[in-house]
Amino acid sequence: MKNYPHPIIAREGWPFIFISLVVSAIVTWKWFWWSIPLWLITLFVIQFFRDPGRVVPGLKDAVLAPADGRIVVVEKTRDVYADRDALKISVFMSVFNVHSNRSPIDGKVEDIQYFPGSFLNAAVDKASTENERSAMVMTAENGQTVTCVQVAGLVARRILCYAEAGQELARGERYGFIRFGSRVDVYLPLNAKPMVTVGDKVSATETILAQLQA
């Protein structure tokens, strides 16, 4: 995954874009003006699957945003995936955000846990416990635990997680994708210093969510 290319458009979207282009072209050839709505849908699909490269900040022990979107939760709660109390920071992704997910830290993947579930609006907090989700528990280079949970949303029906237990991930490394609107929850040690507040807009890899403390 470290060598995953960034061709601007995510590979997960290639089949959808191809089908949209073919259908739009056929309708244009036969009915012309009736194809305009289809071309608008095609443009939407292309923008949804965009996957630009990102610049990794150099700040030591920084926890980076795993996804583009808006902060909807900053609170202390229970991390059931790593069985601990934790600071939770949640990023909500609308259908207009980039949906490529990236590792928030340099560290080792300790466990991957998948849970089937509902498809509630990902902006509401109970989506964290009731929706379909995939949790990745990691150990940072300083020995602290960071949990990153991909949560399906109202429209999302497909969570893709490519990471495996035992794998080493670098900050900003692409590890997954969620199709069509969702959220990512990050659980941190209680003493982590949050660098964002509810309502902030964040960019995957380039925005610092929090600072791990020694």
CA distances from 205 to 13, 19, 33, 162 (A): 21, 31, 42, 17
Residues 89, 74: contact at Cβ < 8 Å? yes
In the residue annotation, 35 being an active-site residue is answered as no
Residues 51, 160: contact at Cβ < 8 Å? no
Q: At what angle do helices 36-48 and 14-31 cross, to 10 degrees?
A: 170
From the candidates 20, 90, 134, 182, give the one annotated as an active-site residue: 182
Residues with catalytic annotation? 182
